Chains A and B, each alone.
Chain A
């Protein structure tokens, strides 16, 4: 991380934007690079800590000693029930034929 800190280039920001399906304008790009570098320099403080013996924590339940079996007990029973109405869901789409979401043509002939 230390060699990376403060070293995000415009090209890297463009690459990350690409991964995230974000289109950045010519004005946005340098501004984002500057901000990311400032924030990443701040984040680099984490390197002061030796965490080699620390298990990463993904969920709060881990701190409480919850196990997968505990989690299983909270799952609802596997019973068929009414769900949100399909027509109401499809109505929210920008473009739909009522059964499918419509998007621009993917394969050109």
Chain B
């Protein structure tokens, strides 16, 4: 699609299908203004979002000022960044200076962070126009977006179903044409799973690839920031802007950043693709299995060789994850106490009552459940049995991947055992909800990179995602394989 003003005027522009590359080219070549593009998106948000509920806050003034800057630069013939005029949304666990940032929690109600997350600053420096903050599960804890204190997000592809979580708003907004790309975060699957449920591309970069300065922490040894987009190439462009060292985040790696967009276009012939048998066992929806097999057939036809690999500790990934993630969360979330930011309980007669009542009123049930579990596994007498044990199994899970990647260049597997489930279907059974993460948490624990690429839909019309996993810091190969799957035209927006 070639974007210009006349298309906007005649309503021919389909915001749901507009790619990042098309949007930027339209702005850079002067066919459409960044201001107009932002306005069109705000109009679409006003029409569509009352139903979907993906945005928690709109940053209209900031967006328009940025769009005007981009348009002025374009007019003056100044050099424009790789995201010039591209409308984006930001998951509400990332800080944007002066803009309400809630992490989907009541406890941060009224908080206006005094600084920008590094990833937000990088997007804007590249010319992106930040439209607003996107809904998510409270403190990124959830697999359905139903744990948001501000109400759930609906899946734009099936309104009675969940968009996935915890970055549900980030996936839904891209799927429904309410931004061209977005930022999410992934601690145990929170980018890949909603991307699969909503039929968009979602990338989990290697641990340490992208700065976390300005990310409200959930589990620090697992948390990562990554992009959602409508194509693999678009996600690669986003990643190129986001990746690289940051002096404000000592956990951010100095490994060289690849030319991801160019790498994603390279031929896949000769690549060795691993298929882990443990990801195709009982519980995998037959339609998803068939879709992944079709994607593998396509990769074979494109010249890849397909190899069986074994990741023998896979079934221990969910229990390992729910020890480590909750332990770290119980520590990280101790900072929410009504002293420095957010809300404070009115029932705060003593210091102790202030802490306890603020946390009781401010946190939702799932957050409390995880804090309790995390506190329990770290408490005296249980540390070795639970936390240390889980760290040991984490080493085994990581070794599984290192050994598999000695034989193959990338691994292909399902993202989720089922397509998007119905709102309310799993809210009464936390363990069932945790088992949703069965194919995503192992990569989170190992720190490798991964992505979800649309690869078809079920007979009922629900999107299916294929997961591509890559070696530590080898996003380039992962994106290449993802692009090859996309090229097969199995996706929803081929």
Contact = CB atoms under 8 A, between A and B. Distances in A.
Query: Do A and B share a complex?
Result: yes
A65 to B, nearest CB: 10
B434 interface: yes
Determine chain B's interface SS by DSSP, over half rule: helix
Interface residues of B, number: 75
B295 to A, nearest CB: 28
A71 B252 CA distance: 10
B333 to A, nearest CB: 9
A38 interface: yes
A55 B395 contact: yes
A60 B379 contact: no
Contact of B379 (A19, A32, A85): A19
A46 interface: yes
Contacts of A58: 221, 391
Contacts of B431: 35, 38-39, 42
B372 A21 contact: no
B320 A46 contact: yes
B322 A39 contact: yes
Interface in B38-55: none
Contacts, number: 179
Interface in A59-79: 59-64, 71, 73-76
Contact of A51 (B348, B382, B389): B389
A22 B372 contact: yes
B158 interface: no
A104 B339 contact: no
Contacts of B343: 94
A17 B158 CA distance: 39
Contacts of B102: none
B323 A21 contact: no
B389 A46 contact: yes
Contacts of B252: 74
Contacts of A10: none
Contact of B341 (A42, A43, A92): A92
Interface in A1-39: 1, 4, 8, 12-13, 16-17, 19-25, 28, 32, 35-36, 38-39
Contact of A57 (B348, B355, B365, B391): B391
A76 B393 contact: no
Chain A interface bracket (under 10, 10 to 19, 20 to 34, 35 or more): 35 or more
A40 B374 CA distance: 11
B319 A16 contact: no
A104 B253 contact: no
A13 B316 CA distance: 25
B372 A17 contact: yes
Instruction: Select the residue from B334, B398, B402 with max chain A CB neighbours within 10 A.
Output: B398
A13 B379 CA distance: 12
Interface in B86-135: 111-115
B322 to A, nearest CB: 6
B372 A13 contact: yes
B398 A57 contact: yes
Nearest to B208: A60
Interface in B318-369: 318-320, 322-323, 330, 334, 337-344, 348-357, 359-360, 363, 365, 368-369
B389 A1 contact: yes
A54 interface: yes
B245 A63 contact: no
Contacts of A23: 356-357, 359-360
Contacts of B382: 1, 4
B472 A64 contact: yes
B199 interface: no
Contacts of B373: 36, 39-40
Interface string B381-413: 010011011111111101100100000000000
Interface of B: 111-115, 207-208, 221, 245, 247, 250, 252-254, 313, 315-316, 318-320, 322-323, 330, 334, 337-344, 348-357, 359-360, 363, 365, 368-369, 371-373, 375-376, 379, 382, 385-386, 388-396, 398-399, 402, 430-431, 434, 446-447, 472
18 contacts: A1-B382, A21-B334, A21-B359, A23-B356, A24-B368, A28-B368, A36-B373, A38-B430, A39-B322, A42-B319, A42-B431, A54-B392, A54-B393, A61-B208, A63-B399, A76-B250, A94-B338, A103-B339
Interface of A: 1, 4, 8, 12-13, 16-17, 19-25, 28, 32, 35-36, 38-40, 42-47, 49, 51, 54-64, 71, 73-76, 84-85, 88-89, 91-95, 101, 103-106
* Nearest 5 CB-CB pairings of A with B: A60-B447, A56-B391, A88-B114, A94-B344, A51-B392
